[in-house]
């Protein structure tokens, strides 16, 4: 029997020592609590700019890749560096991508989930989280307006995987043969109709499914970037003439670039007429269903065959937790119709509690835990208030911009996403100016915003998603854009 290195064995024992864990944990929670207090209540004096203004190559040099046999680095010191060199989503000047500043309670649940490490693919490995997931899906289905006794679905790792899961089910149901088990047959090529403003994950999913780039057929949008219901018929018939068998329509609720909601009832009428699957990509905007004030934006969603809904966007959850909900719950079993004898004993429909029948993941985190706990501890009103406040602040910001002659908005916002740009007089290339402004803001780490390309040109884009962002912060953003823009123009004139 080989000899055991005593020091290594002692180190392994210490790594699992309860008191050592307790001490590390107490110090860690103190660190994170102090960070949360400073970045939310005193962001200007916290020492934490909204993002670290450091290049990838510089960052790479600061984090060495040589790991010794015995270790020895101090955990809490390393965590201090991680916090300092991360983006600060709880900072009120974070108004960039559609990633939520998570509830602290939800983050604690992630710790519990990581520590317990129960995989939620089969009930045997993840009993309680499997049941919590069932309840979360039922809650989402109820808000969508589905018959909860008929609807079903799963949680999965992000909207991209959610869209793929739903569209695989649509392909299996609408292809006209068992494409999952038989493979692609020599029939007409399959196609889906999508908005010109669809998220790139839709095209990626379709290409993974073998539809090819030409199988994703764009439908024109109107001046507000909504899918034109009147254009569906024309696009559909042209695709049929081109030899495609259309199986589905994908609607936005809301679009990623502009935050606008497609006319779901009108699209549902079209899908029913032509016996097509209606999938609603509600990754960002489905959370408006929790808001009494804004749920009307999703009128008609109850007629969709499938809906994708990200809780890590507008339900204050850490990533990733995405609901894939089917109006007809039996369709949730169509996506991955296969057996693994060492895991499953019965037909998939008889084993609703073994979620691997219906997800791509064979190992799945306890993602239901955080949302289930938040709903029980805080109730639903906190989410209603949060969504309404974000949407309200975005409308206020749009009105504020419209009162400023040196700015313009692309369209009146429907959600918490807004596109606008700085338009000082005498500037020929506004697109270049917006890109330079954003680059300067990130370099000085004053605000985190993004940009998007619309038919009118390049626009700055904000997602007002952080609970602590105020009207004063948004006004300060415009002032900073003016300051940066003026400096850029002066330098251009000087050269």
Task: Indicate whether 468 belongs to any domain.
Answer: yes
Identify the band that residue 344 occupies on the pLDDT scale cut at 50, 70 and 90.
very low
> 255 and 190, same structural domain?
yes
Banded pLDDT at 4 (limits 50, 70, 90): low
Determine the pLDDT at residue 280: 98
Query: pLDDT at position 360, please?
Result: 84
Please tell me whether residues 367 and 428 are part of one structural domain: no
- Regarding whether 431 and 367 lie in a shared domain, the answer is no
Give the per-residue pLDDT at 351: 80
Does residue 109 form part of some domain?
no
pLDDT of residue 337: 62
Distances (CA, A) of 90 to 48, 50, 95, 270, 278: 11, 9, 10, 42, 36
Domain membership flag for residue 307: yes
User: Do 419 and 373 belong to one domain?
Assistant: no
d(CA 156, CA 215): 25
pLDDT tens digits for range 311-328: 999 999 999 999 999 999
- What CATH number should be reported for the domain holding residue 471? 3.90.1150.170
Task: Answer with the one of 358, 378, 398 that is the final residue of a domain.
Answer: 378
Residues 433-443 have pLDDT tens digits of: 999 999 999 99
Do 189 and 266 share a domain, yes or no? yes
Q: Tell me, yes or no, whether 265 and 369 share the same domain.
A: yes
- Using pLDDT thresholds of 50, 70 and 90, give the confidence band for residue 342: very low
What is the rounded distance in angstroms from the CA atom of residue 124 to the CA atom of residue 118? 9
283 and 149 within one domain:
yes
Helix ranges restricted to H, 146-199: 159-174, 179-182
Print the domain residue range for 78.
6-48+52-84
**Is pLDDT above 50 for 2?**
yes
Would you place residue 107 in the very low, low, confident or very high pLDDT band (cuts 50, 70, 90)?
Answer: very high
SS3 state at 421:
strand
Query: Is the domain of 370 the same as that of 474?
Result: no
The pLDDT value recorded for residue 460 is: 98
Considering Cα of 341, then 345, then 349, then 351, what sign does the dihedral take?
A: negative
* Average pLDDT over every residue of 239-246: 96
Q: Domain end: 39, 65, 84, which one?
A: 84
Rounded to the nearest 10 degrees, the angle between the axes of helix 104-116 and helix 368-378 is: 140
Report if residue 90 sits inside a domain.
no
Q: How confident is the model at residue 334 (pLDDT cuts 50, 70, 90)?
A: confident
- Tell me the sheet residues that pair with 453: 458
pLDDT digits (tens, 9 = 90+) for 467-485: 999 999 999 999 999 999 9
Same domain, 172 and 271: yes
Find the CATH number of the domain harbouring 299. Answer: 3.40.640.10
Distance CA 50, CA 3 (A): 52
The verdict on 359 and 406 lying in the same domain is: no
At residue 177, the pLDDT reads 80
Most confident range, picked from 65-69, 96-100, 356-360? 96-100
Q: Where would I find the H helices in 342-470?
A: 368-378, 381-402, 430-444
Residue 430, in any domain of the structure:
yes
Whether residues 283 and 176 fall in one domain: yes
Q: Per-residue pLDDT tens for 135-163?
A: 999 999 999 999 999 999 999 999 999 99
Q: Checking DSSP bridges between strand 216-219 and strand 152-156, what pairing results, if any?
A: unpaired
Among 322, 356, 378, identify where a domain stops.
378
Q: Is residue 286 in a domain?
A: yes
Work out how many domains the chain is built from and give that number. Answer: 3
Residue 312 lies in a domain: yes
> Is 391 part of a structural domain of the chain?
yes
Domain match, 467 and 397 both:
yes
Q: What's the whole-number mean pLDDT along residues 172-178?
A: 86
DSSP letters, 89-115, are TTSTTB-SSS-----HHHHHHHHHHHH
> Is residue 343 pLDDT above 50, yes or no?
no
- pLDDT score for 272: 98
Q: What percent of the chain has pLDDT over 90?
A: 80
* Least confident window among 32-46, 79-93, 132-146, 156-170: 32-46
**pLDDT band, residue 310 (cuts 50/70/90):** very high
Asked whether the whole model's pTM tops 0.85, one would answer: yes
CA torsion, points 278, 149, 130, 310, in degrees to nearest 10? 30
């Amino acid at each position: 029997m080989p000899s055991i290195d005593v020091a290594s064995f002692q180190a392994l024992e210490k790594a699992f020592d309860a008191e050592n864990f307790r001490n590390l944990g107490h110090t860690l929670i103190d660190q994170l609590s102090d960070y949360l207090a400073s970045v939310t209540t005193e962001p200007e004096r916290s020492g934490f700019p909204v993002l670290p203004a450091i290049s990838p190559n510089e960052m790479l040099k600061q984090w060495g890749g040589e790991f010794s046999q015995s270790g020895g680095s101090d955990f809490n010191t390393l965590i201090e560096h991680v916090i300092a060199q991360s983006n600060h989503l709880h900072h009120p000047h974070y108004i960039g991508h559609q990633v939520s500043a998570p509830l602290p309670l939800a983050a604690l649940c992630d710790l519990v989930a990581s520590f317990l490490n129960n995989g939620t693919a089969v009930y045997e490995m993840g009993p309680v989280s499997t049941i919590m997931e069932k309840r979360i899906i039922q809650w989402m289905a109820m808000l969508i307006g589905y018959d909860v006794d008929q609807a079903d679905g799963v949680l999965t790792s992000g909207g991209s995987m959610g869209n793929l899961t739903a569209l695989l089910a649509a392909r299996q149901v609408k292809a006209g043969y068992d494409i999952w088990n038989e493979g692609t047959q020599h029939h007409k090529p399959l196609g889906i109709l999508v908005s010109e403003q669809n998220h790139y994950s839709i095209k990626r999913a379709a290409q993974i499914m073998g539809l090819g780039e030409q199988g994703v057929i764009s439908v024109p949008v109107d001046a507000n970037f909504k899918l034109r219901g009147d254009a569906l018929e024309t696009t559909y018939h042209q695709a049929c003439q081109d030899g495609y068998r259309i199986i589905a329509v994908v609607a936005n609720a809301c679009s990623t670039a502009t935050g606008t909601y497609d006319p779901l009832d009108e699209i549902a009428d079209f899908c029913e007429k032509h016996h097509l699957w209606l999938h609603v990509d509600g990754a960002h905007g489905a959370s408006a269903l929790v808001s009494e004030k804004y749920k009307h934006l999703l009128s008609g969603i109850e007629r969709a065959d499938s809906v994708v809904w990200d809780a890590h966007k507008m339900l204050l959850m850490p990533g990733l937790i995405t609901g894939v909900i089917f109006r007809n719950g039996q369709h949730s079993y169509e996506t991955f119709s296969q057996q693994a004898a060492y895991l499953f004993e019965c037909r998939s429909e008889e084993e609703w509690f073994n979620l691997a029948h219906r997800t791509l993941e064979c190992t799945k985190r306890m993602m239901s835990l955080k949302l289930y706990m938040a709903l029980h501890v805080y109730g639903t009103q906190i989410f209603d208030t949060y969504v309404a406040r974000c949407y309200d602040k975005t409308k206020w910001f749009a009105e504020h911009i419209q009162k400023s002659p040196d700015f313009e908005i692309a369209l009146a916002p429907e959600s918490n996403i807004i596109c606008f740009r700085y338009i000082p007089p005498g500037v020929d290339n506004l697109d270049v100016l917006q890109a330079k402004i954003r680059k300067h803001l990130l370099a000085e780490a004053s605000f985190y915003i993004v940009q998007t390309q619309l038919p009118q040109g390049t626009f700055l884009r904000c997602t007002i998603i952080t609970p602590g962002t105020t009207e004063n912060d948004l006004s300060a953003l415009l002032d900073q854009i003016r300051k940066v823009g003026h400096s850029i123009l002066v330098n251009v004139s000087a050269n």
